[in-house]
A and B are shown apart, each in its own frame.
Chain A
Amino acid sequence: MSAPIIELDGVSKRFVKPLDAAEKVANLFGAGLAEKMVHAVDAVSLTIAEGEVVGLVGESGCGKSTLGRIVAGILEPSAGAVSYKSRRTETLASAERRAAQLAVQMIFQDPMASLNPRRRVVEIIGEAPVVHGLVPASDMDAYVCEMMGRVGLDPGARRRYPHQFSGGQRARIGIARALAVKPQVLVCDESTAALDVSIQAQVLNLFMKLREEFRLTYLFVSHDLGVVQHISDRVAVMYLGRIVELSPTDEIFRAPNHPYTQALLDEVPRLEAKKKRFSALKGEIPSPLHPPSGCHFHPRCPFAFERCPVERPVLKEIAPGRFSACHLNDGPQPRPGKVFSDGEAVAA
């Protein structure tokens, strides 16, 4: 395996909402209101090798974008350390730090919010590469046209503003902007969700080509398991701020270990033209404001036992290169075979 390019060591991110004035007054009278805290990322350790594609999946609100922002250096972790090429980013001198930030680019989940509405697309894509000396100013226009063409955008539209594009076109402006500074690591946050499948294929093929040509590394956040399966070398599964399973793609899809992963993979939609009745989730949806004790998954887990609500399972190596955070792996309970979406377990 090649050298690590990104290392996260016990990284956490907490968002705290302080009490407002009325709540503070209420507390004077003994209301006992506490600050609301979301533990968006909870002690995550993850090493990404150069040229690797790590898929990151998990329920909406489990902390994927927050983790992505920390990797991209946009958010400071509340605890833990981030290293880029084996050097802790908080120890880098400012010039080196800027270089590291340029090398790790993020493609944001919400393109409209990340594109300046008052700049033309040619400036949005072309400005950073010129400022950082990657292309001379005189070549900016041609460079932008090339970048737009690569993501399937019509270069003739480069003088337009972001609002004059469709949703999927805007998403591709965000992709072109990130690629334009020739990054070494790309954090893709639902980057192809707004694209039709043919253009999605074009963009994913482009990502794969860049990986081969320049050994680009990807942290690929997506709820689309078909895409994740296609593109990733390894898959990390998050649940309420924690990584609960991390394994090579083929193995995790063939034999998921963690009960949450099993439930998640059971839901993969198929292209079957058959009118279905969709059903709501079984079990209460956990709140990151009040995460369940011990194993966060225990209220919904069909295999939960005495130990689960009291002790947090650690992410342990269960087979070479495979990690899972579930007490069942300690035995003596029999390993679950497969979980069906109605929560019933059957032996393997």
Chain B
Amino acid sequence: MTPPILTVRDLVVTFGTREGVLTAVNGVSFDLYLGEVLGLVGESGSGKSVTGLAILGLIDPPGQIARGSITLDGAELIGKPEEELRALRGKRLAMIFQDPMTTLNPVLRIDTQMIEAIQAHERVSGKAARERARQALARVGIPSPEERLDAYPHQFSGGMRQRVAIAIALLHRPAVLVADEPTTALDVTIQAQILAEVQSLAAETGTAMLWITHDLSVIAGFADRIAVMYAGRIVETGSVVDVLETPIHPYTAGLIGSVPSRNKRGVPLAQIPGMTPSLAKLPPGCPFSPRCPRATVTCRTTMPAETPFAGARMARCHHPLTGEPLAA
């Protein structure tokens, strides 16, 4: 089997805050293979974006990568000088940020920004770059791209800004793409067009993707594998079919149960009871234990370890909903 294009091992990211040191990502490990889409889902605030930012080397103080390893094509990224990272970013490694205004500069015209992004990694004339930019906008479904190029970001709708950010991330056909909630503001038809565009990119160039989203229906139709995060840790991984149809971890099951289309109209939606734990003061043992219907004394005292299950699955739970843990 070919080695993974991206590996993340035991990644720990912390932030200093007034409430104390907060561990946003707490020992995350996964691999990403050529052409693969790994869907990353989980609780709001569980560390998905921070994981993505760490891969791109974009954690700024007071945040820091406290531990772990991230390799791209076998080469370690953590500790790499900023210039080398900058040469990779936008080219081999690209990110679609959760907030499109992270990518876009509000005071520059769209064409200026896109031409800059093209010329940062390629020697092409301004005219050729503008033509590439126009085509890129058309591919993400922006009508009248020629006339839209000289607009400013605030003249675009929310979904149009999001599509410009996607177009910029795809410009250089990256080897690894971290997509953070890339289609949240898009209606289903345009979403389908973007996903088609990204799928053809993956097929042509083998781009591997970490696809962060809350939209389980997108994951269901688009990803190969899925990883579920809770309070800074990956609590379950497996193939999309396995995880969505027979979740092992009670948090995953709670999440799937909250999807509106699985609920009756007019009655309150099923929601996971209790509050998201504060990362600054996590309970001992399993961080989900205060909200978990299956919690026992063991859960409240001992952190469940990453445990392999049949079918190349993994979960962190003392009382799995299905399946027997494989002997180590």
Question: Which A residues are within 8 Å of any B CB, using their own CB?
Answer: 15, 17, 36, 57-61, 65, 109-110, 112-113, 149, 152, 154, 156-157, 159-160, 164-169, 172, 189-190, 193-202, 204-205, 208, 223-227, 229-230, 249-250, 263-264, 267-281, 284-290
* Closest partner residue, chain A, to B100 (CB atom): A110
B199 touches A201 (CB 8 A): no
* Closest partner residue, chain B, to A202 (CB atom): B271
Shortest C-beta distance, A86 to chain B (Å), equals 29
CA A288 – CA B143 in complex, angstroms?
8
Which A residues are CB-close (under 8 A) to B184?
190, 193-194
* Closest partner residue, chain B, to A282 (CB atom): B189
Question: Which B residues are within 8 Å of any A CB, using their own CB?
Answer: 15, 17-19, 41-45, 48-50, 98-99, 101, 141, 143-144, 147-148, 151, 155-161, 163, 180-181, 184-193, 195-197, 199, 214-218, 220-222, 224, 240-241, 244-245, 254-256, 258-263, 265-266, 268-272, 275-276, 278, 280-281
B185 touches A190 (CB 8 A): yes
B255 touches A197 (CB 8 A): yes
Instruction: Answer whether A110 and B44 are a contact pair too, CB < 8 Å, given A205-B271, A226-B261, A273-B241.
Output: no
Known interface pairs A160-B18, A197-B255; 7 further A-B residue pairs with C-beta atoms within 8 A, sorted by A's residue number: A190-B158, A199-B276, A201-B269, A230-B261, A276-B222, A280-B196, A281-B192
Shortest C-beta distance, B194 to chain A (Å), equals 8
Which B residues are CB-close (under 8 A) to A289?
143-144, 147-148
A271 touches B217 (CB 8 A): yes
Which A residues are CB-close (under 8 A) to B199?
277-278
Which B residues are CB-close (under 8 A) to A271?
216-217, 220, 244, 256, 259, 261-262
Which A residues are CB-close (under 8 A) to B218?
269
Which of A112, A157, A226 is in CB contact (< 8 Å) with B260?
A226
A196 touches B278 (CB 8 A): no
B17 touches A164 (CB 8 A): yes
Instruction: Answer whether A113 and B147 are a contact pair too, CB < 8 Å, given A60-B190, A223-B187, A272-B221.
Output: no
Shortest C-beta distance, A3 to chain B (Å), equals 23
B269 touches A285 (CB 8 A): no
A-B contact list, 5 entries, CB within 8 Å: A60-B187, A172-B44, A194-B184, A267-B188, A269-B220
Shortest C-beta distance, B16 to chain A (Å), equals 10
B214 touches A196 (CB 8 A): yes
A194 touches B98 (CB 8 A): yes
A154 touches B192 (CB 8 A): no
Which B residues are CB-close (under 8 A) to A225?
188
CA A328 – CA B224 in complex, angstroms?
43
Count of CB-CB pairs between chains A and B under 8 Å: 228
A110 touches B101 (CB 8 A): yes
* Closest partner residue, chain B, to A190 (CB atom): B185
Which B residues are CB-close (under 8 A) to A109?
158, 185
CA A57 – CA B187 in complex, angstroms?
8
CA A58 – CA B157 in complex, angstroms?
12
A60 touches B258 (CB 8 A): no
Instruction: Answer whether A269 and B188 are a contact pair too, CB < 8 Å, given A110-B99, A154-B278, A200-B258.
Output: yes
Shortest C-beta distance, A216 to chain B (Å), equals 16
A194 touches B188 (CB 8 A): no
CA A194 – CA B217 in complex, angstroms?
15
Please name the 9 residue pairs, one residue from A and one from B, whose CB atoms are nearest each other, closest first.
A168-B44, A60-B159, A287-B143, A201-B269, A269-B217, A201-B271, A278-B195, A287-B144, A276-B221
Shortest C-beta distance, B233 to chain A (Å), equals 15
CA A79 – CA B17 in complex, angstroms?
49
B44 touches A194 (CB 8 A): yes
Instruction: Answer whether A169 and B157 are a contact pair too, CB < 8 Å, given A201-B270, A269-B188.
Output: no
Instruction: Answer whether A208 and B43 are a contact pair too, CB < 8 Å, given A59-B190, A190-B185, A286-B143.
Output: no
B214 touches A275 (CB 8 A): no
* Closest partner residue, chain A, to B212 (CB atom): A167
B189 touches A281 (CB 8 A): yes
A274 touches B101 (CB 8 A): no
* Closest partner residue, chain B, to A291 (CB atom): B143
Shortest C-beta distance, A6 to chain B (Å), equals 22
Which of B45, B147, B255 is in CB contact (< 8 Å) with A166?
B45
B44 touches A196 (CB 8 A): yes
Which A residues are CB-close (under 8 A) to B156?
61
Which B residues are CB-close (under 8 A) to A224?
215, 260
* Closest partner residue, chain A, to B274 (CB atom): A152
CA A61 – CA B263 in complex, angstroms?
30
Which of A61, A195, A264, A280 is in CB contact (< 8 Å) with B157?
A61
B220 touches A273 (CB 8 A): yes
* Closest partner residue, chain A, to B229 (CB atom): A196
A264 touches B189 (CB 8 A): yes
B101 touches A112 (CB 8 A): yes
Which B residues are CB-close (under 8 A) to A205?
268-269, 271
CA A269 – CA B191 in complex, angstroms?
10
B99 touches A226 (CB 8 A): no
Which A residues are CB-close (under 8 A) to B185?
60, 109, 190, 193, 223
Which of A152, A194, A197 is in CB contact (< 8 Å) with B216?
A197
CA A164 – CA B43 in complex, angstroms?
17
A159 touches B18 (CB 8 A): yes
Instruction: Answer whether A196 and B255 are a contact pair too, CB < 8 Å, given A164-B17, A281-B193.
Output: yes
Shortest C-beta distance, A46 to chain B (Å), equals 19
Which B residues are CB-close (under 8 A) to A200?
214, 258, 260, 269
Instruction: Answer whether A204 and B269 are a contact pair too, CB < 8 Å, given A169-B44, A195-B214, A197-B255.
Output: yes
B196 touches A278 (CB 8 A): yes
A196 touches B42 (CB 8 A): yes
CA A303 – CA B275 in complex, angstroms?
51
B220 touches A223 (CB 8 A): no
A264 touches B188 (CB 8 A): yes
* Closest partner residue, chain A, to B152 (CB atom): A17
Shortest C-beta distance, B53 to chain A (Å), equals 11
Instruction: Answer whether A36 and B101 are a contact pair too, CB < 8 Å, given A154-B276, A166-B49.
Output: no
B101 touches A198 (CB 8 A): no
Shortest C-beta distance, A240 to chain B (Å), equals 10
Which B residues are CB-close (under 8 A) to A284?
143
* Closest partner residue, chain A, to B139 (CB atom): A280
